[in-house]
Amino acid sequence: MPSPELSAQPSVCSSAPAKPLERVDIDLGDRSYPILIGAGLLDDPTSFEAVPTASAALIVTNTTVSPLYAAALQKALAVRFRSVHTLELPDGEVHKDWPTLNLIFDALLGHGADRKTVLFALGGGVVGDMTGFAAASYMRGVPFVQVPTTLLAQVDSSVGGKTAINHPLGKNMIGAFYQPQLVLCDLATLSTLPPRELSAGLAEVIKYGPIYDMAFFDWIEANLDALSAREPAALAHAVKRSCEIKAEVVGQDERETGIRAILNFGHTFGHAIESGLGYGEWLHGEAVGCGMVMAAHLSQRLGGVDAAFVQRLTTLIARAGLPVVAPRLGAERYLELMRIDKKSEAGEIRFVVIDRPGSAVMRSAPEAMVREVLVQCGGA
């Protein structure tokens, strides 16, 4: 069963101690925008000064997040918008689909939203992806703001402009590149995150080390206990450095024609796990964590890393509370699902692999080698 994004506790935003504000900028020319990181930001009207002026706003959230934070966000936005409406979607990856997406369009049309109406995505990656896709599509594009409330969304999915819904045959196969006006990472929201969701977010933090910054990887190893204990200083650094790395990569390759693909380390295997088990059975971060183990073994077989590195990464992923043994879907099922992945070309499966610690590339691998990895990691 899918885990709820947040535990049912009262909002802590307004009572959270103020933390120094961190800012990371995504440099994309006229599509550039800031990422603001700190505690107590969500209910502060000044946090939204970068948002375009409009008469109306729509907060898109879900049934789990809404009772915790929607009222605080609505109150903050009421200072800038004449009308602020809230739409609650059903919670969970299984609802990242056309019928749920249409609920956003129904709300926009029902409220008479125009081209200046601003959408606010309040929640985790599912809410952010669907709200962004709706914003990209409604009237051929309206502004939107990401207000991520999960660690995974704060360090990854809310940044970079990827928006999508799932299809029964493949994850995130229907979507658009569409950049937000602002990403607001309120660290206070992480205090209500269930442990399983926190672990899922740590997977996307960990990935930045092997693909880009081994010094950050060293820091994660040394501070993993502090991250798991939700120590504010550790979380602030993890979110900021993750966003910095993603900003550097996205700034070079907005539409994933080159280097941006390295951000999908572990995702080819991971998406196959999610699709094969059924969306929501494993959280996205859990599938990515296990997928990184599998991708590390493939990297070793391709000569990029040694066995010691694979063991080091596997140990860290396990310490974060993530699965390191693949579900037994069978080699044929894995291969079938991975051929549908967005990174495949002409039916050839392509993987993000580590060519040396701190550096990643995209390449294909012999099918026999992939089968060996599937057997080794428990999937076949």
* 150 has binding-site annotation: yes
**Which of the following is catalytic: 204, 244, 254, 274?**
204
237 is catalytic: no
Query: Binding residue per annotation — 91?
Result: yes
Q: Is 86 annotated as a binding residue?
A: no
Closest by CA to 336, choosing from 276, 249, 265, is 276
Establish whether 96 is an annotated binding residue: yes
- Whether residue 158 contacts residue 119, with contact meaning beta carbons closer than 8 Å, is answered with no
128 known ligand binder: yes
Q: Would the annotation count 125 as a binding residue?
A: yes
Q: Is 264 a catalytic residue?
A: yes
Active-site annotation holds for 111: no
Q: What is the spatial distance between Cα 204 and Cα 242, in angstroms, rounded to a whole number?
A: 8
Any idea what DSSP says for residue 91? P
Residue 162 is among the residues annotated as catalytic for this protein: yes
Q: Is 171 annotated as a binding residue?
A: yes
Cα(217)–Cα(199) distance, integer angstroms? 16
189 marked as part of a ligand binding site: yes
Annotated catalytic residue, options 246, 297, 343, 350: 246
Neighbour count for residue 98 (Cβ, 10 Å)? 10
Known catalytic residue: 204?
yes
| Amino acid in the structure at residue 260 | R
Residue in 240, 271, 343, 350 annotated catalytic: 271
Q: Is 116 annotated as a binding residue?
A: no
The reply, when asked if residue 46 is annotated as ligand binding, is no
Q: Are 322 and 286 in contact (CB under 8 A)?
A: yes
Please state, in angstroms and rounded to a whole number, the distance separating the CA atoms of residues 68 and 54.
25
Q: What phi-psi label fits residue 24: left (phi over 0), alpha (psi between -120 and 50 degrees) or beta?
A: beta
Catalytic residue among 19, 260, 297, 342: 260
361 is in an annotated binding site: no
Task: Based on the residue annotation, tell me whether 102 is a catalytic residue of this protein.
Answer: no
- Between CA 147 and CA 231 the distance in angstroms is 21
Annotated binding site for Zn(2+): 204, 267, 284
Which amino acids are annotated catalytic?
140, 162, 204, 246, 256, 260, 264, 267, 271, 284
Sequence ranges of the binding site for NAD(+):
91-96, 125-129, 149-150, 162, 171, 189-192
Residue ranges of the binding site: 91-96, 125-129, 149-150, 162, 171, 189-192, 204, 267, 284
